[in-house]
Amino acid sequence: MAQESGQNLFEIAYPLFQRIHDNDFEYVYRGFFDHSITKKILFLADTNIAKVTNQSQATLQKRIYYIMVEGLQNITHHQEEIANDKDFDKFPGIFAIQKNGGRYYISTGNIVANDKIESLKSKLDVINSLTPDELKKFHREILSNGNISDKGGAGLGLIEMSRKSGNKLLYSFEKLDEEFTYFYLQTLIPTDASYGTPDGNSHHPSLESVKALHRQMNTDNILLYFNGFFNQENLLSLLAIIKSRMNSMPLTTIKISNVMVEMLQNIIKHGHKSDATGGAGISGVFFLGQMGNETILTSGNIIQDAAKDVITERLEFVNGMTKDELSDYYDDILLDFDTADAKKTGLGFSDLRIKSDRPLKYKFLPVGDNEQFYLLQTSVKTKK
């Protein structure tokens, strides 16, 4: 069963990666949210945005950062409201950044209790009905008087998201069961005044793409998903996010962490540094899935054609050895690098196979001129 699940995740990796790029996603995190994780998500996302904006867009970057903070706080706030239901793995949230033309889209998705929907919808509708001057006045009233019942409640964070973006808040509700509903919220931030709010609300294509992506990841039992730019600068923050996430899951944390380090380093080492990323890092994807007692780790990134044969040779070499042969080879390389010939390089692959105690699955898919999408997957047995 675990093997079937791994194969499924292996096969969907590139379509998922392609879907994300076709919909202009720059950053996606799917999983559990708490204050520690959201702090690290903010660092990662803000670092990426800083690398693709210039000094003249400093004000835009601050606005985006503020809206990210409010959106992530909104997720954790709703989780705290339903803290008696501890099994958040059944309802993982999503945080995503998209950039299309002259607009940034900050999207969140999280569960809310069904009895909170009417109040939440009322606040959103009131905020969306007000002009910028009316919003400013409304904000002052709430700060002075607290909850304003005839205005649909306080909702200071939502008001500020609308004010900072200069646009209406797009939202949608998708009922899950008799207790909970997914609440999707999207804020549009134009890079200049010529890009305002698109027509429509809950059925805007950008919001629909977030909902569709979230449904797919839920269906395929992806426990944690990260799409974005990988580099040494943000590697530690990404590792910390995933380790924090794993603390709430019944996983063999140390072994999975070690395997994860090698896979993330593999992306950075072999990924193609495209000029299109603006120096932000290697564009790639990494996710965890689970079936039975197997935790499946999958990574994907773009490489140049010239790297394909080298990677294949190294992977075939380490996959072709027994456990004892691999251990002896690894020790020999550590003790004397001079013994390594062109074939016997790839210490990272050897380390990865030793730590996972599984053969390394890989696949290459042509994606453009002189480029391949390189998939790598292994798994770790989970202690029950």
CB 271 within 8 A of CB 337: no
Q: How large is the C-alpha radius of gyration of the chain?
A: 23
CB 211 within 8 A of CB 174: yes
Q: How many CB atoms lie within 10 A of CB 310?
A: 14
Q: What are the residue ranges of helices labelled H in 130-204?
A: 132-145, 156-165
| DSSP reduced 3-state for 148 | coil
Q: How many helices (H) and strands (E) does the chain have?
A: 12, 10
For residue range 107-119, list pLDDT tens digits in order. Answer: 999 999 999 999 9
| Residues present in the chain in total | 384
What pLDDT, on a 0 to 100 scale, did the predictor assign at position 53? 61
pTM value surpassing 0.85: no
What pLDDT, on a 0 to 100 scale, did the predictor assign at position 185? 96
Domain chopping of the chain, boundaries? 2-249
- State the angle between helix axes of 323-335 and 347-356 in degrees (0 to 180), rounded to the nearest 10: 140
CB 173 within 8 A of CB 155: no
For residue range 43-94, list pLDDT tens digits in order. Answer: 878 776 766 666 557 888 889 999 999 999 888 887 777 765 556 567 889 9
Q: Which two tokens stand for residue 329?
A: 């080879």
Burial level of 335, CB count in 10 A (0-12/13-18/19+)? exposed
Q: Of 197-201, 227-231, 244-248, 374-378, give the range with the top mean pLDDT.
A: 374-378
Higher local confidence (pLDDT), 365 or 57: 365
Average pLDDT, the chain: 80
What pLDDT, on a 0 to 100 scale, did the predictor assign at position 147? 55
What pLDDT, on a 0 to 100 scale, did the predictor assign at position 358? 87
Cα→Cα distances 271→9, 280, 294, 380, Å: 20, 13, 27, 24
CB 101 within 8 A of CB 194: no
- Residue 367 pLDDT exceeds 90: no
Mean pLDDT of 234-254: 69
What pLDDT, on a 0 to 100 scale, did the predictor assign at position 148? 46
| Banded pLDDT at 343 (limits 50, 70, 90) | very low
What pLDDT, on a 0 to 100 scale, did the predictor assign at position 145? 73
CB 88 within 8 A of CB 79: yes
Domain 2-249 has CATH 3.30.565.10: yes
Task: Work out whether strand 103-113 and strand 282-291 pair parallel, antiparallel, or are unpaired.
Answer: unpaired
Measuring CA to CA, which residue among 180, 184, 214, 207 is closest to residue 92? 214
For residue range 288-335, list pLDDT tens digits in order. Answer: 887 777 888 999 988 999 999 999 999 999 999 998 998 888 888 777
CA atoms within 13 A on the CB side of 343: 5
Mean pLDDT of 195-216: 74
| DSSP reduced 3-state for 181 | strand
Q: For residue 105, what are the β-bridge partners?
A: 98, 188
Higher local confidence (pLDDT), 68 or 155: 68
